[in-house]
Structure 1
Amino acid sequence: MEIIRLILKDVCRFTHLDIQFAPTAKHASNVTVLVGNNGAGKTTLLKSLATSLSWVIARIRVVKGSGNHLANEDIRNGALIAEIKIAVVDGARTNPDHGIEEGAHCWALARAKLGRKSAVQSALGDATSLADKYRLRLNNDDKASLPLIAYYPVERSVLEIPLKIKTKHTFDQLDGYDNSLNRGVDFRRFFEWFREREDSENESGVSDTVLAEVSKKHGTNSLIWIELSRMKASSRDRQLTAVRSAIAAFMPGFTNLRVQRKPRLHMAIDKDGVTLNVAQLSQGEKSMMALVGDIARRLAMMNQSLDNPLHGDGIVLIDEVDLHLHPKWQRSLIRQLSETFPNCQFVLTTHSPLVISDAKDVLVYVLNDGELHEHNGLYGLDANQVLLEVMDTDIRNSDVQKRLNALLERLQDGDLETAQKLFAELAEELPDGHIELAKAALLLRKLELRRA
């Protein structure tokens, strides 16, 4: 499933917005990124997509299910009616050069102000027909793949892992849609699912505990350890393997995510060979593990017949994708998303220049005061260029930049005395090795030599 186009009319701050999503003829990537100042409308756009897509999920699960509606506060100030229109294709589009192609499913949601009569009505027939396609596939094959549809808002949080499971859940394909558009990372459900799958895996194979005991007693070169290792590998749960491999791809050095029961029930992971309780990880590490793990878990549940469940298709919306992440992880984030989940379409928002400057063919839009502008050619730019050209932000403290500019102007004019004074003042305040001050020092030395 892919979103082709979204149109907003009088929704929040948007009077009229018409946006297409990657892949397009110019952007082969499956990633669309939205940047802009706080209040520019990035979250409104993601929520509008999630609201529209909720009707497909609702009607896959129940024939006449109801999704989310536009709220009265979603109507732009001064307007009487708000409307969202969306165009979606089942699978990948055949001709990304066109805005709407033959066979696309298009539906609309409308909302009038309280006490007003609307001439525009919601039209959800295509959402129903698209959902019917998936229901028919499930009727013919109860393990037929379903598309992932998930929204991770900025309020997503990583809860502490529960030590007790109060309610027994079943985890079938449709459960992959549980809270997928209204809660973000559901770590409690993730833990319950992981524990159940791992218990089943251990029952049908060899547990890590047994393997560790044999290793301690007989060594890893013994025939019994080698045979037990082979048996364990053959009994690996495909869905758990998908989740573990996804986390390992995004978090180098992290391996062997598992549930441990001693000294108390907890989730453990090995970091550079050291076993840690997941609760001991940093906020950024927990956020990354929870986000990637949740996407992988849902794909694994909804694509049980695939050799690699991570190759299932779907739509993933992530608000402020760089939240809590170290710059090193921000830089590789889009590439990792595309490589690990190659058939998912991503729509992301970010405030980080590193996220959008290190991936090819990404479609980037800049939102500013309710207007949308496509911005191309960002691959390979350094963070400072992105800050200046795309995010309209100074690359350093404005007062320091002003004084550095004045210093360079005096050097260019040949005003040695003033330049020396400005340089001395900045040298007292700025740290050793400041690159702009080092450049100015070279120019100042040249000017002094010419004067001499």
Structure 2
Amino acid sequence: MKLKLLTLENFRACGRLDLELGSRLTVLLGNNGSGKTSVLDGIAIGLGAVLTHLPSVSGITFRKQGDIRQQHNLLAPYTRVGLEMSSGLRWDRIQRRDKSQATAKAIPPATGLKALESYLDETVLDPLIAGQKFQLPMMAYYGVSRAVLEVPLRRKNFPKTHTRFEALSQALAAQSSFKSAFIWFYNKENEEHRLQKEQRSFEVTLPELDAVRLAIGIIFPDISNPRIELSPLRFAVTINGETLDLMQLSDGYKTLLGLVIDLSMRMGLANPHLADPLSAEAIVMVDEVDLHLHPSWQQRVMADLLRTFPRTQFILTTHSPFVVEALNNLVDDTLLAYFNQINVLYDRMRDIEWDRRND
């Protein structure tokens, strides 16, 4: 799945916004308060309809009246999020102000969810019931709270097994938790150790774990041997021969490493049948991609993510001049055709600001 077009109507401060999305990268530039995060939240609400239709997964939706645009202390009759995929598949979600007839008359004809649900039935649910192979659509949203990593202190009540649909659990909640990735890594390491013991070979590895290790190695070449240690319970890595707890790393290291581990874990869990899970299609949103990163790292973070996840569509926000400078480097990069289309919503996001001036 790849997004092509986002439409927001009466969404928070936005009267109307039609935004074309790059097939590989979209970067939203703007100062704090310009509405960048609201765009990501709108996409997450639209994609929430995908999760809601799948088993054992709950998607996010509107915050009742909290997402409806307010002008002069009056709420608009409705708010709408519409999405269109590169395949032409379209759907929308609408939140009404109330159930009155006046509100109903003010709402334009809706696209609805039938086409989306039919697509998911055909590509996911029907093959699942028939016991056939299928590719689970992958999506994730990383908000600014990703800087706060939650690591369990004890192994009590750790689940022993993981289903494919767990890859989408809380995937669109911007307040993502590292705890699930930690538990998954712990269980997979135990499974890998059992296989190595049974086959009497340390060469035996799990493809899902290898995918996480590979992603870490590409973006963090100085990090090796990511692992769970038991006493004390922690996620440990080796940097220049020294063992360090993940929680001991700098905020920039910790924030980006947590994102890479979580995303690669989800991709491996979602589609374990793939030889290269990191190359599966995915839609990933990252708010303030420059969060806590050193300026030199801000300049390369986009290229690192694009290379590590070669078929992922990234939608990022930033107000960092170093990230903006890196966009020019991407345009000059010999991999430009590989990166494909790069869309940038410049400066203050004119549609939203125009509406504010006319409030």
Aligned AA (2:4)? I
1:297-333 deviation per Cα after TM superposition (whole angstroms, max 9, x unaligned): 0000011111111111110011111111111221111
Report the counterpart of residue 419 of structure 1 in structure 2.
Answer: none
Report the counterpart of residue 284 of structure 1 in structure 2.
Answer: 252
2: CA distance, partners of 1:368 / 1:118: 33
Report the counterpart of residue 124 of structure 1 in structure 2.
Answer: 113
Aligned AA (1:125)? K
Aligned pair 1:319/2:287, yes or no?
yes
Aligned pair 1:108/2:99, yes or no?
no
Aligned-residue offset at 1:237: 1.2
Residue of 47, 50, 55 corresponding to 2:44? 50
1:371-422 deviation per Cα after TM superposition (whole angstroms, max 9, x unaligned): 279xxxxxxxxxxxxxxxxxxxxxxxxxxxxxxxxxxxxxxxxxxxxxxxxx
The answer as to whether partners of 2:35 and 2:352 remain within 8 angstroms in 1 is: no
TM-score by length of 1: 0.68
Aligned length: 330
Structure 1 stretch displaced more, 284-293 or 53-62: 53-62
Report the counterpart of residue 75 of structure 1 in structure 2.
Answer: 68
Report the counterpart of residue 2 of structure 1 in structure 2.
Answer: 2
Aligned-residue offset at 1:11: 1.1
Aligned-residue offset at 1:192: 0.6
Taking a change above 3 Å as real, the CA distance of residues 70 and 266 of structure 1, as seen in their structure-2 partners, is closer
Aligned pair 1:347/2:315, yes or no?
yes
Taking a change above 3 Å as real, the CA distance of residues 189 and 34 of structure 1, as seen in their structure-2 partners, is same
Report the counterpart of residue 357 of structure 2 in structure 1.
Answer: none
Report the counterpart of residue 377 of structure 1 in structure 2.
Answer: none
Residue of 104, 129, 143 corresponding to 1:153? 143
Report the counterpart of residue 195 of structure 1 in structure 2.
Answer: 186
Q: RMSD of aligned C-alpha atoms? A: 2.4
Report the counterpart of residue 442 of structure 1 in structure 2.
Answer: none
The answer as to whether partners of 2:279 and 2:310 remain within 8 angstroms in 1 is: yes
Which stretches in structure 1 are left out of the alignment for 5+ residues?
24-29, 94-102, 208-226, 374-452
Aligned-residue offset at 1:198: 0.1
Aligned AA (2:148)? V
The answer as to whether partners of 1:317 and 1:346 remain within 8 angstroms in 2 is: yes
The answer as to whether partners of 1:56 and 1:130 remain within 8 angstroms in 2 is: no
- SS for the counterpart of 1:242 is helix
Report the counterpart of residue 127 of structure 2 in structure 1.
Answer: 137
Taking a change above 3 Å as real, the CA distance of residues 66 and 163 of structure 1, as seen in their structure-2 partners, is closer
Taking a change above 3 Å as real, the CA distance of residues 124 and 6 of structure 1, as seen in their structure-2 partners, is same
2: CA distance, partners of 1:351 / 1:269: 31
Aligned-residue offset at 1:369: 6.0
Which stretches in structure 2 are left out of the alignment for 5+ residues?
332-340, 354-359
Aligned-residue offset at 1:111: 2.0
1: CA distance, partners of 2:139 / 2:174: 13
1:145-196 deviation per Cα after TM superposition (whole angstroms, max 9, x unaligned): 2121111112223334212133242312101011111154321111110000
- SS for the counterpart of 2:7 is strand
Aligned AA (1:126)? A
Report the counterpart of residue 368 of structure 1 in structure 2.
Answer: 348
Bigger RCO (CA 8 Å, 6+ sep): 2
2: CA distance, partners of 1:168 / 1:39: 40
Report the counterpart of residue 85 of structure 1 in structure 2.
Answer: 82
Taking a change above 3 Å as real, the CA distance of residues 85 and 183 of structure 1, as seen in their structure-2 partners, is closer
- SS for the counterpart of 1:190 is helix
Aligned AA (1:236)? T
Q: How does 1:217-366 map to 2 (within 5 A)?
A: 231-233=201-203, 235-262=204-231, 264-358=232-326, 359-360=330-331, 362-366=342-346
The answer as to whether partners of 1:37 and 1:368 remain within 8 angstroms in 2 is: yes
The answer as to whether partners of 1:365 and 1:372 remain within 8 angstroms in 2 is: no
Report the counterpart of residue 180 of structure 1 in structure 2.
Answer: 171
2: CA distance, partners of 1:50 / 1:160: 22
Aligned-residue offset at 1:141: 4.3
Structure 1 stretch displaced more, 283-292 or 272-281: 272-281
Identity of aligned residues (%): 32
Aligned-residue offset at 1:363: 1.6
Q: How does 1:370-449 map to 2 (within 5 A)?
A: 370-371=350-351
Taking a change above 3 Å as real, the CA distance of residues 260 and 142 of structure 1, as seen in their structure-2 partners, is farther
TM-score by length of 2: 0.85
Taking a change above 3 Å as real, the CA distance of residues 2 and 372 of structure 1, as seen in their structure-2 partners, is farther
